[in-house]
């Protein structure tokens, strides 16, 4: 494996990756809408006329043609963007030590959904090299080992050996009561299972305006939840594409649950 220095969040490579995700999400939404328009659906390439050559009566022809043209532009831009990202990844490696094709594919691959770590009580995500992000020492833990009883026991034993004995508490006077106010977050146990993690947020976009941040763990997106039959990310994007009003998003950030409002 080649040595690699992770780019900063303001580097051109990170900006390119955010553009890639934005294009892919838009393409998913367009495809989802086209595949649900008409009976049978017109899709991305089916004819817009019937067998006799007359325009289909149950679709918005202007809307369909506009979406198809936009999808063609996205595909062209995405192809060019991927070439720039691949070149950027190679440049990010140390001089004289180019990244392998397998490493490049691993960095560009879609991440699996987060897992709950019983040892630390945190939700964790998978890094490109198979290790864990979201917990201290995650570079020494494999994502695929999270939840395995024998591995959890070894990690708990290691934490017990490394933890220092707690100092004897010193009695202190009772503090003056301070009024408390409700906050939009809660650290109580989360009953809703997450189904997605935010890889990046395009500056100035709807997600950016709503306050979403990279690393946010999605619990609920509008009506879509993992328990309610979540099937795929395109389903979530399609939900956003079809919604004309506000979308309520429940998420987990730094161990606390929050609620945001997205305006497509």
Helix and strand totals (H; E) in the chain? 6, 8
Higher pLDDT: 184 or 31? It is 31
Strand 122-126 and strand 247-253: the pairing is: unpaired
Task: Please state, in angstroms and rounded to a whole number, the distance separating the CA atoms of residues 80 and 213.
Answer: 26
Q: 178-236, pLDDT tens digit by residue? A: 444 334 444 444 556 787 888 888 888 888 888 888 888 888 888 777 766 666 666 66
**Residue 185: its pLDDT value, please?**
44
Q: 119-175, pLDDT tens digit by residue? A: 888 888 888 788 988 788 888 889 999 988 888 888 887 776 665 555 566 666 666
DSSP code of 210? Answer: H
Q: 70-115, pLDDT tens digit by residue? A: 999 999 999 998 888 888 777 766 555 556 777 777 777 777 888 8
Contact 15, 200 (CB under 8 A): no
Strand partners, 55: 49
Q: 34-73, pLDDT tens digit by residue? A: 998 888 888 888 999 888 889 988 899 999 999 999 999 9
Global confidence as pTM:
0.36
Query: Looking up tokens 């220095």, which residue turns up?
Result: 5
Q: Measured on CA atoms in the order 191, 195, 200, 202, is the torsion positive or negative?
A: negative
- At residue 28, does pLDDT exceed 50? yes
Tell me the two tokens of residue 214. Answer: 């990279």
């Amino acid at each position: 494996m080649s040595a690699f220095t992770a780019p900063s969040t303001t580097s051109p490579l990170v900006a390119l990756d955010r553009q890639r995700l934005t294009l892919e999400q838009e393409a998913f939404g367009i495809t989802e809408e086209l595949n649900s328009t008409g009976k049978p659906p017109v899709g991305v390439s089916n004819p817009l006329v019937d067998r006799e050559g007359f325009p289909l009566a149950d679709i918005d022809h202007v809307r369909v043609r506009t979406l198809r043209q936009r999808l063609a532009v996205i595909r062209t831009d995405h192809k060019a963007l991927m070439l720039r990202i691949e070149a950027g990844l190679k440049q990010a490696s140390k001089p004289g030590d180019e990244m392998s094709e397998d490493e490049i594919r691993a960095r560009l691959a879609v991440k699996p959904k987060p897992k709950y770590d019983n040892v630390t009580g945190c939700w964790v995500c998978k890094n490109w090299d198979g290790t864990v992000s979201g917990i201290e020492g995650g570079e020494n833990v494999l994502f695929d080992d999270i939840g395995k009883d024998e591995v959890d026991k070894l990690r708990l034993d290691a934490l017990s050996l490394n933890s220092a004995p707690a100092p004897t508490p010193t009695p202190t006077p009772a503090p003056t009561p301070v009024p408390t106010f409700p906050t939009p977050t809660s650290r109580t146990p989360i009953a809703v299972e997450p189904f997605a993690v935010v890889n990046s947020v395009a500056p100035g976009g709807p997600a950016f305006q709503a306050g979403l941040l990279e690393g946010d763990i999605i619990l609920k997106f509008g009506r879509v939840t993992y328990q309610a039959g979540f099937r795929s990310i395109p389903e979530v994007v399609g939900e956003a594409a079809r919604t004309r009003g506000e979308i309520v998003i429940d998420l987990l950030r730094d161990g606390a649950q929050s609620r945001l409002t997205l305006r497509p």
